[in-house]
Structure 1
Amino acid sequence: MMSQHNFDVEKVIARSPWFKNLPKEQQAILVKHSKVEMIEANSYLFSVGQSTSHLYCVLSGWIRASVNSAYGDEFALNDLHEGSWAGEASLYNDLPRVIDLQAKEDSWVLKVPRAAVIRAGEAYPLMYRDISQFQVARTRGVFELLAGMVLYPLKSRLAGRMLAMAHEFGETVENGVAIPQKMSQTDLARLCVGSRQRVNKILRDWSARGIIAHEGDFYVITNMDALAEEVEVTEGE
């Protein structure tokens, strides 16, 4: 279990894409009502069918947004890391959630009560403009993801997912860009809707060609341009 951390909640709220344009005094009210909570690995912030009363910001760790079948199959929509926000749908309706938010490792999360955010929106309606702009960008990303799943072969989907992670939270290292997140081949397979065996075959090919390297528990993209070219492959796998 992770030890207690000290997070600058005031700074987290001020930098939020949703709340950055609120007056300082209104941001302070949200800070006052917010709560930092540790979510243990494999626990859920919320799951399909539940109603929620908070908005969430990942302070550290790894939270996955996904949909799961009754047979245990998982389709990963997005991985949330430090600074990622979620749960804004609860501002618009009380309908049950249609996705799961699950901690893939011990994670610290900021929980902001929906009621406090609604009061802020009533006082400063332009807040909803910022939230809507955020939602448009997120929806666009989901549409691009779905198009990729339908139209592109597995190799292209896997390359696209790894590039997205590298651009979002990758770290520059001596031999390329490291993805600082422990990911098994099963995790990667779920991200791109493929089998672990086929993903393993693609990764071994990329490793042999000097496109990626597996160092310890992490992947390093050693040739970003070559990996980007893999996204463009449209014939077979």
Structure 2
Amino acid sequence: MPTLALPAIRLALGLVTELRIDVNHTPDEVESELDAIRNRMSRPSDRLYGLPEVRTDIPGLALRHREADGEYYVYVVDLRRDRVAGYTVFNRLIEVGRRADPYLRAPHSKYAAPYQRMGLATAVYRWGLDAGLCIMSGARQSEGAHRLWLGLARDYELGYVDLRRKRLSYLGREVDAAVLGDLHTRMVLLGRGWTLERHMQATGMTWSEGARTQQGLG
């Protein structure tokens, strides 16, 4: 995996009103879970003990990461305060077929309130994307997550796909509000080293008629 960089993220992007909102967790729920993770990291018998560590360019913050069954867990640790600031998991997607499974992961994040709006989740996403992971959004997103994805689209190729019955259909780089509001519509960001054509071939993704027109394919 590449080293982590934490650029300042400044977004001024509008959101469509039809954005599908994800479930929010209370601060107490998040803090309780992060405390439990920190306790596990201190127990020599636990699988979270002694994880590989990557320093960040924010003083006092580091990443600890692990892989299990094709899923990647990245924990942001505040070394000065001896606490877990939050984490991102790059999950496998049960919605996609076997052919696409090795090539798509869905990131899910939880960060404690004092560490939000610091760009930590964005930076961890970049860490994964720079390592070549291709990521897909869930059926629902928070407004903050939607901004995050649009911000990353400045540096990584973003497209929209239709996912149903384990089949992927590429919709193009832009979709209208009605399509975006459909629960079958997902966002995909391609990791470093991937082209759209190569990713479509690897996953078995097909072209929608609208996307063929966008690409000038007739």
- The alignment's TM-score, normalised by the length of structure 1, stands at 0.28
Greater share of helix: 1
- The higher radius of gyration belongs to 1
- The alignment's TM-score, normalised by the length of structure 2, stands at 0.30
